Every structure is written in C-alpha cells, then in structure tokens.
Amino acid sequence: MVVNVSNFSRNGLSDFLLQRLTAVVIAAYVLCVLGFLWLNPGLTFVEWISYMESIYMRIFSTLTLFSITAHAWIGMWTVSTDYLNEHHFRSFGHVFRWFFQLFVTVAIVIYVLLGLWVIW
C-alpha cells in the first residue's frame, strides 16, 4: 500500500495550498516576463540581460525556480501514488514508485543547481 513518507509536507492541506500558491507564483512570473517582452518591442540582448540580471528579477527567478520544484514534486508524487502502485503493478508497484521518485528527485536537484547557476 502507498504510504506518506515521501510526501512533501505529509499533510494534505499544506500540499494542496502549496500547490496552488506555487502555481500563482509561476503564473505571475510568466506574465511578468511576457509583459516585459510585449512592452519592449525590438528588445536587444543587452537590454534583456540587464532586465533579467536586476536583483529583483534574480530573486523572482529564484522564487519561481523553487516554486516549480515544489509544484513538480507534489504533482509527480501524486501521479506516482496514483499510477505506480500495487493496483497497477502488484508487488512491483512500490519498486517502480521508488525508482520513479528517485529519478524525479535527482532531476529536481539537477534542475535547481543548474537554475541557481544560471540565475546567479
């Protein structure tokens, strides 16, 4: 049977709220970047770099990076406990789920490190 140990906060409500909150952050970030592009037609690379390298955008980018991480983990954890379980794969269910969660964890760690390196 599926257990909760690998769940983000081990509490349904915080996961639920966190997933919605991070979605708002991600959406705001997308709007912010798209809005900048839309307001600045004929943008040069130098202008773009100076915008993205401002301290506000760096902090916002970092916040978004972590939001995507939390959002992805909660979502992937849900998918794996729905579909990679004993109902679909009998006794292999927890092995598949374990490998999948390991894979997602590694991918997320690489993503965060790479992201921080790019932003800062």
Q: What is the contact surface with another protein in residues (CB under 8 A)?
A: 1-2, 4, 7, 10-17, 78, 81-83, 85, 87-88
CB of 5 to another protein, least distance (A): 11
Q: Select 53 or 82, whichever has its Cβ closest to another protein.
A: 82
CB of 7 to another protein, least distance (A): 5
Q: Select 89 or 111, whichever has its Cβ closest to another protein.
A: 89
CB of 111 to another protein, least distance (A): 23
Rounded distance between C-alpha atoms, residue 72 and residue 19, angstroms:
9
Neighbours of 22 (CB within 10 A): 22
CA-to-CA dists, residue 7 to 3, 70, 96, 114, angstroms? 8, 11, 16, 24
DSSP 8-state assignment for residue 5: T
